[in-house]
Structure 1
C-alpha cells in the first residue's frame, strides 16, 4: 500500500521547499525557509516512526546539515546530492540507510553503466537508490540531472525501469515540472511507475493534500509511495498535516479484515 515518505530538502545550508523547475546556479524560487535545522526534522521523523525518507542537498553549502541529520536518525533516512563512488561510503557511515545517485551516472548526457558499476561496488545493490527524476516532453519523460536543468537522452519508460531495477534497491522520482507547485501530481507518471516498477519507488511532485495519497494509492495499485513537501504543515503548507500523514501510514499498515457472508 502507498506510504507517505518524509523529506528534508537543503539549499544554501537551510531547510527549504522550492519550486523544482526554478533551481539553477543563481538560486531558486522559494516556497518556504525553515527556522529549524535539518536535525530537527530528522528527530521529528524518528519520533513519529517514519521511515524511508530522504535528505536531498541541492547544491553546495549543505554538508554540515546533512551529516547532522543522518547522525540524528541513523538508518532512518536516505541521502542524495553529489553522491559518487568516492564519497558514497562516507554518507553510509554517517548514518544514511541508502545513498541516492543521479547526476554522477551520466557523462556528457549519456547514461554510464561503468559509473553505475563503480558505485555499486561501494554501496552494494541493497543500499543504493537511483534517482530518476525527470521532465516531461512531447515524447514522454526523460531523466533530468544537474538540479533538474539538464534533460538527458534516457527515458523513464517500462523498459528502462525494469532494466535499472536490477541494479538498485529503490527508485526516487521527482516530477520536476510540477515539483513545489502544489498543483496536483503527474497522474500519468504515477500510473506508469505503478505498472512498471518491480521494486520500491517513491514519487515526489505536486502533492497538495491527503487526497493525493489516496489518489497515488489508486493509480499505482499501492505500488508507489509519495513524498509531500510544500503542502505539509511543518513546511508552512496548509494542505495536509504531518499527523494526518502518520495516521495514513498507520492505517495502511493495519491488516485488512475480510468479512465473509
Structure 2
C-alpha cells in the first residue's frame, strides 16, 4: 500500500522547500517556497517520534554537511541521505547515521553518460541493501529523462521499465522526483506514476506536485499501491496549507490495515 515518507530538503544549511526547476549553479538563487526557522534535527526528531521510516534528507548543493549530520544524529538509522554522495563518502554517511545513501549525479560523467561501473562499485562497497538510486527526471520527447546536477543536466538514461529492471540488481530502492512539477503544488505527474506503478519491482518513492490529500489518492490508485509518496511545499510543516501532518500520519495508519 502507498505510504507517506517524510523529507528534509537542505539548502545553505537550512530546511527549505524550493521550486525544483529553479535550482542553478550560477545566476539568481532558486525560488524558495519556505525557509524554516527550526533546525534540521527538529524535523528528524519529529519523524522519529512519529516512527516515520524510509524518509530522505537531501543536500541541495554545498554548505549542508553539518546540517545533514545533525539531522542524521537526531535519528540514527532512521533516514536516507542524498546529495553529493559518491564512492569516497558513502561509508562515512552511513557511519554518520544514514540508513541508506541516495546517489544520482555521481553515476554519470560530466556529459551525462551513465557509468554502470560506478553503480556496481558503490553497491559492492556498501552493499546493495544500503543503496538508493535517484532517478529524478524531466519530461522529454522520449518520455522522462533522468536529470542530474540538481536537475539541471539531462542524462543518457530514460525512465523505462527496462532501465528499472537493469538498475534494480544493484540497489534496494528508487527515489524519483518529477522535477518539472516539484515545488509547484499543482498536482502530481499522473502519467509518470502510471509508468512507475506498472513496474512494481523494488520499493520506490515518488515526489513532486502534491497539493492536497487527493493527490495521495491519485498516487495510490494509479500505482496500484506500488509507490510511496513524499509531500513538500503543500505540507503545513513547511508553511503549506494543502496537507496537514496529522492527516499523513492517519493515512499511514490506514495503509497498515
TM (norm. structure 2) is 0.97
Runs of 4+ in 1 over 6 A off after TM superposition: none
- 1:58-111 CA distance string (max 9 Å, x none): 000001110011111111100000000000001100111000000000013111
- The answer to whether the 8 A contact 1:231-1:240 is kept is yes
Say whether 1:53 aligns with 2:55.
yes
> Which residue in 2 is equivalent to 1:104?
106
Compute the displacement of 1:138 (Å).
2.0
User: Which of 167, 170, 176 pairs up with 2:170?
Assistant: 167
1:40 is matched with which residue: 39, 42, 46? 42
- Aligned-pair CA distance for 1:114: 1.1
Give unmatched runs, 5+ long, in structure 2.
Answer: none
**Is 1:137 the equivalent of 2:129?**
no
Structure 1 segment 61-80 matched on structure 2, within 5 A:
61-80=63-82
The equivalent position to 1:150 in structure 2, one of 149, 153, 156, is 153
Counterpart for residue 120 of structure 2: 117
- How many Å separate the matches in 1 of 2:194 and 2:126? 30
| 2:8 aligned with 1:8 | yes
Select 2:206's aligned residue among 178, 183, 203.
203
Give 1:115 shift: 0.7
1:227-246 paired onto structure 2 within 5 Å: 227-246=230-249
Give the alignment's TM-score, normalised by structure 1: 0.96
Size of the aligned set, in residue pairs, is 254
- Separation in 2, partners of 1:97, 1:214: 28
Contact 1:158 1:197 in 2 (8 A): no
